[in-house]
Each structure stands twice: as C-alpha cells, then as structure tokens.
Amino acid sequence: MSIVKTKDLVFEYIRRDEEGNVEGITTAVDHVNLTVREGSFIAILGHNGSGKSTLAKHINAILDPTEGTVWVDGMDTADPEKLWDIRQRAGMVFQNPDNQIIGQVVEEDVGFGPENMGVPTEEIWQRVEESLRAVGMYEYRKYSPNKLSGGQKQRVSIAGVLAMHPKVIVLDEPTAMLDPSGRKEVIRAVRALNQVEGVTVILITHYMEEIVHADQVFVMDQGRIAMEGTPREVFSRVEELKSLRLDVPQVTLLAYELKKRGLELPDGILTTEELVKALCG
C-alpha cells in the first residue's frame, strides 16, 4: 500500500522584480510521479537546487502543488480540511536542530506536538517516553536542549515528530551540520524508527554513505526524477551520478577505480564487507 503518492506534481515559483512585476517562472518540481510504499526507507538525492526540498515540502502540505496531486495516507494535500490530519501523519525534520527545538527541557519539547493535537496529559507523557526511548535519548529527558550536542539535539527533534505518531517522517538533510559521531547517531536512530517502529522514512541527504541501506533511491535533477532504483543499481552508475553533481560512497568509488585498473569486481559494491569479500574471497 502506498503511504505517499504524487501524480504529475508540478510546482512553480514566480520570480518578481523590486516593483513586483513578474520577471519569470521557475519550475522547481516538474511532473514528478512518486509512489512510496508504507514501511519503506526511501532516499532522495540531488544537487543544490534540483528540487528535492521543494518536493519534500509537499509531503506535509507546507507547499501546495501548482499542478497535479499529492496524496498522503490517501488524503489529498490540497484539501484544507485535511491539513492537520496530514501534518500529523507526515512529520518533517530539518537541517538545523537549533531552529526546531523550542522547549526549555527535552521532555517538554517532545511533548509540544501531541499537546497541540489535544492528546490527554497521561498519554502525552507515555508518548514522550516512548519517543525518547526510540531515539536513545530517554536518559536526557530532564536536560536543557542547550546542553546537548548537535546529534543529540537532532534526535530530540526526531522524537518530537515521533510523539505525534506519524506514519511517515521526511528528513531534509538532518545531518548536514553534524560531526561524524552525530551523523552516525542520527542515521542509526532513523534506521531504528524504520525497522523497529515501522515508520516510513524519506531521507534527503548529500552524504552518500547514509543511504546504502535504503530500499529505494530517487535522484532528482531540474525538478524531475532522473534516476531511480535500489542503492546498488543507482551507485553502479558512477559517471552518471557525477554528471548530476553527485558522488558515490568511498568504498563504491574505490571498487569502481579498481575495476578500471582491471580487477574483476562486481558493480555497485556498497559496504566494506562486500569489498573485502570480493577481494579476499
């Protein structure tokens, strides 16, 4: 069953000059058809300005389509009556954790979402506890968010979304501002959400290593879906990715370069274990 579906989705920005006259129209999303199966882990890649964030903002109705339709859990995002249901069903996490945390205490921050949905107090506390445990931040529930590292803050942001019991979480470059261990913590938490809690994940990132475990990868360019497939299929096309201003994980690149030097290796190696096995038998 599909949890998110777009049909011929188009989004246009109208550019205006200082007097407010229309200078031109930019098509940020151009006839995108996307189906995301419930419970899957989807990655969206694409260079800066390729339209991936604009696409993501349609999934919880921050943006309305110019043309075409977006359904979230069967609801049309253009239907104003369904707005709050959609935002509860599809949560979003952004790049900068400092812009997303509002509470003075971690547990208060996580409770903010369900409180606004009118969840009874008893249940709010239950949800806060579950969500913080899911991202491994329960011991920090009494902390001030100011005292946390970037990776920890970002996990609190994810818990805040999780407490609203969404079916799908969209993460727009959640690790761009983090150090290596912060990145690892966040990705581990995201994978756990997907595999243990069964939440559908849509991850947007510029770090290729983060998505080797995704079920499906979409690569965007000029507002369209330029490539699509499993990580192995997509990362086998090294030159094509480079022409789209992207990259492959270091291990994939190493295998690709070795193959060019005449070593016999399979295409699209994604992990160190695979490469070691291919080389050492």
Binding residues for another protein, rule: CB under 8 A, are 15, 46-50, 95, 149-151, 173, 176-182, 206, 208-209, 242, 245-247, 249-251, 253-254, 257-258, 261-263, 272-273, 275-276, 279-280
Identify which of residues 124 and 212 has a Cβ nearer to another protein in the complex.
212
Identify which of residues 6 and 50 has a Cβ nearer to another protein in the complex.
50
Q: How far is the CB of 47 from another protein (least distance, A)?
A: 4
Identify which of residues 64 and 147 has a Cβ nearer to another protein in the complex.
147
Answer whether 9's CB lies under 8 Å from 31's CB.
yes
Dihedral sign for Cα atoms in the order 47, 49, 50, 52 = positive
Identify which of residues 104 and 181 has a Cβ nearer to another protein in the complex.
181
Residue 10: Cβ within 10 Å count: 16
Q: How far is the CB of 42 from another protein (least distance, A)?
A: 19
Q: How far is the CB of 209 from another protein (least distance, A)?
A: 7
Q: How far is the CB of 206 from another protein (least distance, A)?
A: 5
Identify which of residues 128 and 244 has a Cβ nearer to another protein in the complex.
244
Q: How far is the CB of 18 from another protein (least distance, A)?
A: 9
